[in-house]
C-alpha cells in the first residue's frame, strides 16, 4: 500500500501525449492538433484496449509518484465554439469536426467528481466487453452499469454522456469500444441488399414496415447494394414513410425511401452515408417538416452533430449544397409536390 501525503493535488492528465515509456509506441497514432477526428487505426479493438491500459497506467504512475496527484481527464470540447464544418475538395461531402480546445473532468471539483468516476467505470466495462469480444447496445451498457455501479448511474442520459466523454478522451469511435448503435431506422423501395453469406433482400417487397436497419455498423459496412432508383428520399416521419411504402410510391417515382423515425440514429446515418458513396449519381431529397426541427434533422444527416463531432465524418451523407427540401407544409399532396422536383417513371 502506498502512503500518499495529504492533500493530494490535481494534475493534468498526460495520457496519450506523454512520451514516457508506457505509451511511447502508441503516441504515433495520435490525431493531429486542429482537427480531432477518430483515427482509423483505432477502430481496431486491440488498440482501443491498449489505450485504456495506457490511461490506467499513466493515472497510477502519477498517483504513486514522489509528487502524487489525481490526474484530470482532458476531453475534446463538444460545443459550438469548438466546432467547425469541413468541406471535401473533390466531393460534396461536408461534416462537423471538433477543433483542439479541451475541457476536463476532475475528481477534485465537487460538481465534476461523479462524472470523473463515471468515465473510469465505463472504460472498465468496455474493456471487459472488448476482451470477451462481445458487443452491447447503449441500453445494455446502462443495465450493466446500473448493476455494478448504481450509485453513479441512474439514467440512460448519464451513460450516453459518459460514452461521449470516453470517446473524447480516447479519440476512438463508440463502435470500437464494443458499443453498437440502437437502430430505429427502416428502408424501402428499389434497393437490393445482401448481407455476407445471406440471401438477397428486396426492399420493395418488405411491405409498409420496410427493412429494419441493423445496429451493427460492421455488418452495414459489408452490405452489398444494387439499385435502379433515380432518387433517395429521406423521410422524417415514420407514419409518412409507412404511407408511401404502402402506396408503393417507389414504383411511380423510382426511389429508395429511408427514415430514422425522427431524429437520426447512428445506424441510419451510416447506411445513408454508404448509399451516398455507393450511388453517388443519385440525388438525395429530404421530406421533412418546414420548421427548425425538420431543418435540424436534415443538418444532422448532412453534417453530423456537435456531440458526435469526433465521429461525424463517418456518418455524413453526400447531400449536395443545392439539395431540395420536400416540405410537408408546402403541399398536402405528396405526388403533386414531388412531381415538381423529379420525373416519374414512364
Q: What is the DSSP pairing of strand 192-194 with strand 200-202? A: antiparallel
CATH number of the domain encompassing residue 86: 1.10.10.10
C-alpha cell at 43: 477502430
Same domain, 149 and 16: yes
Give dist(CA 203, CA 212) in Å, integer.
10
Same domain, 22 and 169: yes
Mean pLDDT of 136-162: 92
Of 127, 155, 180, the position where a domain reaches its end is 180
Same domain, 17 and 157: yes
Distance of CA 284 to the CA centre of its chain: 21
* Total number of domains in the chain: 2
Question: Which of 17, 143, 175, 315 does the annotation list as catalytic?
Answer: 143
Produce one character per residue of 205-234: b if its CB has 16 or more CB atoms within 10 Å, e if not: ebeeebbebbbbbeebeebeeebebbbbbb
Flag whether 212 is in a domain.
yes
Q: Write out pLDDT tens, residues 178-220.
A: 988 778 899 999 999 998 888 999 999 999 999 999 888 888 8
68 Cβ contact list (under 8 Å, min separation 6): 2, 4, 5, 8, 9, 62
C-alpha cell at 331: 403541399
Same domain, 22 and 170: yes
Same domain, 194 and 161: no
61 Cβ contact list (under 8 Å, min separation 6): 20, 22
Same domain, 174 and 213: no
Answer yes or no: is pLDDT of 85 > 70. no
Identify the pLDDT of residue 28.
34
Of 162, 180, 198, the position where a domain reaches its end is 180
Same domain, 105 and 174: yes
Q: Write out pLDDT tens, residues 19-29.
A: 333 333 333 33
Flag whether 90 is in a domain.
yes
Distances (CA, A) of 36 to 50, 101, 168: 19, 10, 9
Flag whether 107 is in a domain.
yes
Residue 45 designated active-site: no
Range of the domain at 61: 9-180
Flag whether 345 is in a domain.
no
Inter-residue long-range contacts of 146-151, CB under 8 Å, 24+ positions, other chains counted = 148/121, 149/121
Q: Is the peptide bond before 7 cis (omega within 30 degrees of 0)?
A: yes
Of 127, 146, 180, the position where a domain reaches its end is 180
Q: E strand or H helix at 102, and its extent?
A: strand 102-105
| 341 pLDDT tier (thresholds 50, 70, 90) | very low
Is 179:45 a contact under the CB 8 Å cutoff?
A: no
Same domain, 240 and 260: yes
Same domain, 33 and 163: yes
| 310 pLDDT tier (thresholds 50, 70, 90) | low
Q: Indicate the average pLDDT of the chain.
A: 75
Give dist(CA 8, CA 49) in Å, integer.
28
Residue at grid coordinates 431506422: 185
Same domain, 93 and 194: no
Amino acid at each position: 500500500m502506498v502512503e500518499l501525503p495529504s492533500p493530494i493535488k490535481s494534475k493534468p492528465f498526460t495520457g496519450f501525449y506523454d512520451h514516457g515509456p508506457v505509451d511511447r509506441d502508441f503516441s504515433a497514432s495520435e490525431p493531429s492538433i486542429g482537427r480531432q477526428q477518430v483515427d482509423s487505426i483505432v477502430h481496431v479493438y486491440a488498440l482501443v484496449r491498449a489505450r485504456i491500459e495506457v490511461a490506467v497506467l499513466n493515472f497510477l504512475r502519477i498517483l504513486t509518484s514522489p509528487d502524487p496527484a489525481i490526474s484530470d481527464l482532458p476531453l475534446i470540447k463538444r460545443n459550438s465554439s469548438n466546432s467547425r464544418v469541413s468541406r471535401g475538395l473533390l466531393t460534396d461531402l461536408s461534416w462537423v469536426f471538433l477543433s483542439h480546445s479541451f475541457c476536463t473532468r476532475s475528481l477534485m471539483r465537487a460538481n465534476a467528481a461523479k462524472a470523473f468516476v463515471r468515465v473510469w467505470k465505463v472504460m472498465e466495462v468496455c474493456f471487459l466487453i472488448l476482451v470477451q469480444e462481445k458487443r452491447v447496445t447503449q441500453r445494455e451498457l446502462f443495465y450493466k452499469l446500473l448493476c455494478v455501479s448504481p450509485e453513479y448511474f441512474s439514467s440512460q442520459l448519464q451513460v450516453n454522456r459518459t460514452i461521449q466523454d470516453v470517446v473524447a478522451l480516447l479519440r476512438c469511435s463508440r463502435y470500437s469500444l464494443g458499443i453498437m448503435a440502437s437502430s430505429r431506422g427502416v428502408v424501402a423501395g428499389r434497393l437490393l441488399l445482401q448481407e455476407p453469406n445471406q440471401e438477397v433482400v428486396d426492399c420493395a417487397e418488405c411491405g409498409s414496415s420496410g427493412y429494419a436497419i441493423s445496429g451493427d455498423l460492421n455488418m452495414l459496412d459489408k452490405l452489398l447494394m444494387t439499385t435502379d432508383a433515380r432518387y433517395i428520399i429521406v423521410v422524417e416521419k415514420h407514419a409518412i414513410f409507412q404511407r408511401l411504402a404502402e402506396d408503393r410510391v417507389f414504383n411511380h417515382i423510382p426511389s429508395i425511401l429511408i427514415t430514422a423515425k425522427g431524429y437520426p440514429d447512428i445506424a441510419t446515418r451510416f447506411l445513408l452515408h454508404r448509399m451516398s458513396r455507393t450511388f453517388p449519381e443519385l440525388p438525395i431529397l429530404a421530406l421533412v417538416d418546414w420548421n427548425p426541427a425538420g431543418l435540424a434533422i436534415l443538418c444532422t444527416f448532412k453534417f453530423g452533430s456537435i456531440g458526435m463531432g469526433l465521429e461525424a465524418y463517418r456518418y455524413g451523407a453526400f447531400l449536395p449544397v443545392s439539395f431540395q427540401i420536400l416540405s410537408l407544409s408546402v403541399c398536402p399532396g405528396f405526388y403533386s409536390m414531388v412531381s415538381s422536383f423529379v420525373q416519374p417513371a414512364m
